[in-house]
Amino acid sequence: MAFGQPRIEYKSNSQMRTMVQAGLVLSRALDAAVAAAVPGKTTRDLDGVFAAVLKEAGATSNFLGYHGFPATICTSVNEEVVHGIPGDRVLQDGDILSIDGGAIVDGWHSDSARTVIVGTADPEDQRLSDVTEAAMWRGIAALATGKFVGDIGNAIDDYVSAVPGKPLGILEDYVGHGIGSEMHMAPDVLNFRTTHRGPKIRPGLCLAIEPMLVRGSIDTAVFADDWTVVTTDGKRSCQWEHSVAVHEKGIWVLSAPDGGASKLAPLGVVPVPVP
């Protein structure tokens, strides 16, 4: 601890290269889970698909057993915001589903989330997902160009606030985080604008950037299972997340196979592989 603040873990290039491997395994596992998210499947089915990819790759789950969490992914459906537990819930046509997962390779962690519309999409749900994903990428671009971690939340908030159409809410109770030898580490990564600049962005910093947006109020509650977070007004929600590394030559999105190149190019950012 320094001046009452948790110490930030800065990674070496070698450590970040291992995090790349964890991110690639995670990306493949999320690919498989998203592909399996069709009407008639249960959320437990998706957990099994995800777990099988990790097992085949020789990776382990950082979600399973985390403070007692009983599965390898979180499956949050409709009004469920985050931390939904996979189970017997059958996916229905039109559900909006956020799948959040992680993997560990040689002690180094990855964390990423995607949202998928099951079957036929409600246009407003599709807009919610598209805006959340685009906001995440603007936060990642701010990590590449900004000076302080607070610049990430500023970029996310500015983008969401400027999107035409019905206003969307940015959750404030749940935020991004540092990642490395543990899944959740300092610093917190806010998804909204504040006067707090946060720590300086410098090489070795690895962050999980994960905006969560809702179609209604940002007020949430937690189910009796002590995990599942839901909107109190029952409106639908969405989460997108990537783990990102900062090194001497730039940034690299650890949980994207191309390091984020295709999504960052329109934003004027060229990711650079970890040297």
In this structure, what token pair is assigned to residue 109?
């962690």
Contact 8, 205 (CB under 8 A): yes
C-alpha–C-alpha distance, residues 125 and 166, integer Å: 12
Distances (CA, A) of 225 to 212, 236, 238: 21, 20, 20
83 annotated binding-site participant? yes
In this structure, what token pair is assigned to residue 183?
């899944």
188 annotated binding-site participant? no
182 annotated binding-site participant? no
C-alpha–C-alpha distance, residues 61 and 194, integer Å: 34
Contact 120, 93 (CB under 8 A): yes
Beta strands in 54-184 (DSSP E): 73-77, 80-82, 96-105, 108-117, 169-170, 176-178
130 annotated binding-site participant? no
247 annotated binding-site participant? no
171: phi then psi, degrees, rounded to nearest 5? -60, 140
Q: Which residues contact 117 (CB under 8 A, 6 or more apart)?
A: 94, 95, 96, 97, 125, 126, 129
Distances (CA, A) of 160 to 62, 192, 195: 30, 9, 18
116: phi then psi, degrees, rounded to nearest 5? -135, 140
C-alpha–C-alpha distance, residues 117 and 38, integer Å: 9
Residues in binding site for substrate:
83, 184
Residues in binding site:
83, 100, 111, 177, 184, 210, 241
Residues in binding site for a divalent metal cation:
100, 111, 177, 210, 241
